[in-house]
């Protein structure tokens, strides 16, 4: 399989280079899609100095997804892992989710654990598009942006006087389902927007109910825990002439239920209830003073609270009382405050400058938090775009950081370049340095219960990185009835003192955070976008390598430095305009992932080669217009019925409490049907 994937990549490169010059120069419409992440002002995807991937609202609607993870599952380079309690985590090109910045309209999302749980706590019905930049973005976005940025951009109601959208979707969990409740996945949503006299107001609410999956005959010990979410949003904005200002509130409450097995010796069981509340406030403004000066201001505050309630159920006496064990009753809070002011100066058509200040404050408290720690991060950043000709764009920049706990490098530099060889060929090359101070959750958070034993490490060192990225974008075919665009990308990253969750060296079955003094990742990927009159397809492959460097006296049973993982994906939609119907097929092969795991039970003790097996993911959907107002969406998810894959890698993100064993992927093949209502008054 590895040879096949490498051969496909190589042949695609040769084909691309030998056929590009002969094609029509008409640009594909997708290349002119407007992007905003990391830009001085909105501009086309083709002209952006960064290589940016986009997923628009139509693709999200067709997928039938109920959370962001389901949208990203089949994207190249993305690998997810799941834990019922700790949540969802993501890797991009072999790099940990702790190094990926998750943004909502450019504002950082706050996560309690080292996982990126926020990806499953964003209302997917409010998303206009998702923009992804792979590679270091530390100059523009600071800490946590060493591996890349995922910017989730919400819908704007700027055109319609009044709009109402609603969604109702029912889905099985594997073979388990009951109408509107008890079993399965159930989603209801409504959004209302008003736009009048330059004032726009929008509000909406979504209810997601997942009744769990698996379990014993008493409905306990479920493989996937029942979860109920209420997601609300409200926005008020004013836009006129050179001023655009708005306030937005995103609120979430989530209840997770963990009912453990019954101990029949004493007819008792412990039930745990985890309630999460998040209130994210953001006030943003854009002011264009004149043709040369522009100011963007962001003020954001997030209040995050998670409570744990543990009850001991006595089935003989029919009683239900609070349990008094350590950590079984807890309220943990996290608060973050962000101020970011950015000014753009357009000195001339070929010279522009961006400068700004970025202030971040985080505070935590709770029984599982050691003390009441606070981390403040202050930064100044500046970059410029210089275009010596129409075909060259050079963007150097640097960031100066003052962290209240850790000493950052004096300067965090980066340089991004774009060269347009002709209308059909673009080359992008970049270098960036990264810095990431350990988060409060890694330093001071302890999570110990019957299934988990994860403790923070206050002695962690800050991470630094150096990264090189390159891409070649080719417009191979631009005929009226057929378009083919190919992007070939490569990356090389060196991380120093990278923080990973590993098994404790002193306490059995305990996991803690540890610095690996050097980790490298590298790889190559190719993505082909094909468009005909009725077909849009993206077909790609990637080959990703990761190396961890150990101390000289550490035993390894394998001499390889880099361990490689292949990936293949295909996302295809086919439209039949005469019946207003779209068919979607979304597929990904996730290759086997080798790793070195610490093993103290073997002789000699040291790191042994382990592996997480490969698996296939595929969804098939049908979307059709019933009438002008109603759209029907139906299909099958996880067609290959993958529930878990075998892994003997100790310390997988969702195995921190179990060691090696099955890696949770999904609750199996499921079927869904949904109704979407959309009414607009111009």
Mean pLDDT within 349-375: 89
Q: What is the mean pLDDT of residues 535-561?
A: 91
pLDDT at 511 over 50: yes
User: Which of 123-127, 142-146, 444-448, 473-477 shows the lowest per-residue confidence on average (mean pLDDT)?
Assistant: 444-448
Dist. CA 126–CA 345, nearest whole Å: 32
> Which pLDDT score is estimated for 99?
80
Confidence label for 5 from pLDDT (cuts 50, 70 and 90) = very low
Q: What is the CA radius of gyration of the chain?
A: 25
Beta bridge partners, 354, equal 344, 383
With a pLDDT cut of 70, the percent of the chain lying above it is: 90
Split at pLDDT 50, 70, 90, the class of 142 is: confident
Query: Is 50 exceeded by the pLDDT of residue 144?
Result: yes
Q: Is the pLDDT of residue 10 over 60?
A: no
For residue 13, what pLDDT band results from cuts at 50, 70 and 90? very low
DSSP state of 578: G
Instruction: Kindly indicate the confidence band of residue 325, based on its pLDDT and cuts at 50, 70 and 90.
Output: confident
pLDDT for the residue numbered 496: 92
CB neighbour list of residue 548: distance below 8 Å, 6 or more residues apart: 516, 518, 519, 596
Q: Tell me the average pLDDT across 50-60.
A: 92
At residue 34, does pLDDT exceed 70? yes
Contact of 507 with 498, CB cutoff 8 Å = no
Of 103-112, 272-281, 397-406, 562-571, the range with the lowest mean pLDDT is 103-112
pLDDT of residue 654: 44
- pLDDT: is 260 or 517 the higher one? 260
Are 398 and 163 in contact by the 8 Å Cβ rule? The answer is no
Distance CA 314, CA 322 (A): 11
Q: pLDDT by residue (tens digit) across 616-672?
A: 999 999 999 999 999 999 999 999 999 989 888 765 444 433 445 678 889 999 999
Most confident residue range from 315-324, 476-485, 527-536? 527-536
What does the block give as tokens for 128?
């206009």
All structural domains of the chain: 2-681 (2.40.170.20)
Of 474 and 650, more confident: 474
* 3 state DSSP class of 137: coil
**Per-residue confidence at 84, pLDDT binned at 50, 70, 90?**
low
Determine the pLDDT at residue 113. Answer: 59
Higher-confidence residue of 317 and 25: namely 317
Lowest-confidence pick of 109-123, 368-382, 427-441:
109-123
CA geometry: angle at 629 spanning 627 and 630, to 5°?
A: 70
584 with 64: CB under 8 angstroms? no
Q: Does the pLDDT value for residue 119 go beyond 90?
A: no
Lowest mean pLDDT among 64-73, 116-125, 379-388, 486-495: 116-125
Phi and psi at 50, nearest 5°, equal -90, 155
Where is average pLDDT lowest: 214-218, 240-244, 535-539?
Answer: 214-218
Residues 6 or more apart from 193 whose CB is under 8 A from it?
157, 160, 162, 163, 164, 200, 201, 202
The most confident of 156-165, 343-352, 399-408, by mean pLDDT: 343-352
In SS3 terms, 554-571 reads as: CCECCCCCCEEEEEEEEE
What 3-state DSSP class applies to 43? strand
Q: What is the pLDDT of residue 329?
A: 87
pLDDT exceeds cutoff 90 at 100 = no
Q: What confidence tens digit (pLDDT) does each residue in 604-613 have?
A: 888 889 999 9
Nearest to 328 by CA among 444, 449, 162, 418: 449
Q: What is the mean pLDDT of residues 510-534?
A: 90
CA 680 – CA 52 distance, rounded (Å): 31
User: Are residues 541 and 560 in contact, defined by beta-carbon separation less than 8 angstroms?
Assistant: no
pLDDT digits (tens, 9 = 90+) for 178-196: 988 889 999 999 999 999 8
pLDDT at 7: 46
Provide the pLDDT for residue 521. 94
User: How much is the pLDDT for 61?
Assistant: 94
Q: How confident is the model at residue 165 (pLDDT cuts 50, 70, 90)?
A: very high
The contacts of residue 153 (CB under 8 Å, 6+ apart) are: 36, 105, 127, 128, 129, 130, 131
Q: Cα–Cα–Cα angle for 185, 151, 76, nearest 5°? A: 70
Q: Which range has highest mean pLDDT (3-17, 103-117, 127-141, 582-596)? A: 582-596
Q: Is the pLDDT of residue 26 over 50?
A: no
- The model's pTM is 0.89
């Amino acid at each position: 399989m590895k040879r096949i994937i490498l051969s496909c990549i190589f042949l695609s490169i040769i084909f691309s280079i030998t056929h590009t010059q002969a094609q029509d120069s008409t640009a594909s419409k997708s290349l002119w899609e407007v992007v905003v992440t990391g830009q001085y002002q909105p501009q086309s995807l083709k002209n952006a100095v960064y290589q940016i991937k986009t997923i628009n609202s139509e693709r999200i609607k067709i997928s039938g997804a109920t959370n962001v993870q389901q949208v990203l599952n089949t994207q190249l380079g993305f690998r997810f892992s799941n834990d019922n309690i700790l949540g969802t985590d993501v890797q991009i090109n072999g790099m940990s989710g702790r190094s990926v910045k998750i943004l909502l309209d450019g504002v950082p999302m706050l996560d309690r654990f080292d996982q990126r749980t926020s990806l499953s706590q964003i209302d997917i019905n409010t998303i206009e598009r998702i923009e992804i930049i792979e590679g270091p973005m530390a100059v523009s976005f600071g800490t946590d942006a060493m591996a890349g940025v995922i910017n989730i951009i919400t819908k704007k109601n700027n055109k319609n006087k009044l709009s109402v959208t609603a969604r109702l979707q029912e889905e099985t969990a594997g073979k388990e389902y009951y109408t509107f409740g008890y079993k399965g996945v159930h989603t209801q949503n409504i959004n209302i927007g008003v736009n009048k006299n330059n004032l726009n107001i929008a509000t909406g609410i979504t209810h997601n109910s997942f009744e769990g999956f698996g379990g014993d005959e008493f409905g306990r010990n479920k493989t996937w825990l029942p979860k109920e979410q209420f997601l609300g949003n409200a926005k008020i904005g004013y836009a006129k002439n050179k001023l655009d200002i708005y306030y937005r509130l995103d609120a979430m409450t989530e209840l997770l239920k963990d009912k453990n097995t019954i101990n029949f010796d004493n007819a008792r069981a412990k039930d745990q209830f985890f309630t999460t509340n998040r209130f994210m406030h953001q006030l943003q403004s854009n002011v264009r003073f004149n043709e040369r000066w522009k100011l963007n201001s962001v003020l954001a505050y997030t209040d995050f609270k998670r409570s744990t309630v543990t009850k001991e159920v006595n089935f003989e006496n029919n009683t239900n009382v609070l349990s008094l064990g350590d950590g079984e009753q807890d309220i943990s809070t996290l608060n973050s405050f962000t101020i970011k002011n950015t000014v753009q100066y357009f000195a001339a058509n070929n010279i522009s400058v961006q400068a700004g200040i970025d202030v971040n404050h985080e505070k935590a408290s709770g029984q599982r938090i050691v003390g009441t720690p606070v981390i403040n991060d202050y930064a100044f950043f500046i970059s410029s775009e210089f275009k010596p000709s129409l075909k060259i764009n050079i963007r150097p920049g640097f960031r100066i950081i003052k962290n209240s706990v850790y000493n950052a490098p004096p300067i965090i530099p980066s340089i991004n370049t774009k060269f347009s060889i002709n209308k059909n060929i673009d080359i992008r090359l970049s270098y960036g340095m990264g810095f990431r101070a350990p988060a409060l959750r890694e330093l001071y958070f302890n999570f110990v219960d019957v299934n988990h034993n994860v403790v923070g490490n206050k002695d962690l060192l800050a991470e630094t990185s150096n990264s090189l990225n390159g891409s070649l974008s080719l417009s191979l075919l631009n005929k009226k009835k057929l378009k083919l665009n190919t992007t070939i990308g490569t990356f090389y990253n060196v991380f120093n003192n990278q923080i990973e969750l590993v098994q404790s060296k002193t306490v059995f079955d305990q996991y803690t955070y540890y610095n690996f003094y050097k980790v490298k990742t590298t790889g190559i990927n190719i993505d082909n976008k094909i468009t005909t009159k009725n077909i849009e397809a993206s077909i790609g492959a990637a080959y990703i390598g990761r190396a961890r460097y150990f101390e000289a006296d550490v035993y390894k049973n394998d001499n390889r430095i880099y361990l490689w993982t292949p990936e293949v994906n295909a996302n295809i939609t086919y439209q039949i305009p005469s019946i207003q119907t779209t068919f979607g097929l979304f597929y990904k092969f996730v290759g086997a992932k080798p790793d070195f795991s610490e093993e103290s039970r073997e002789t000699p003790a040291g790191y042994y080669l382990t592996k997480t097996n490969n698996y296939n993911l595929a969804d098939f959907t049908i979307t059709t217009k019933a009438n002008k107002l109603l759209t029907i969406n139906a299909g099958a998810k996880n067609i290959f019925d993958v529930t878990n894959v075998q892994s003997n890698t100790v310390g997988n993100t969702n195995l921190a409490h179990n060691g090696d064993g099955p890696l949770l992927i999904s609750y199996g093949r499921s079927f869904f049907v949904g109704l979407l209502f959309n009414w607009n008054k111009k």
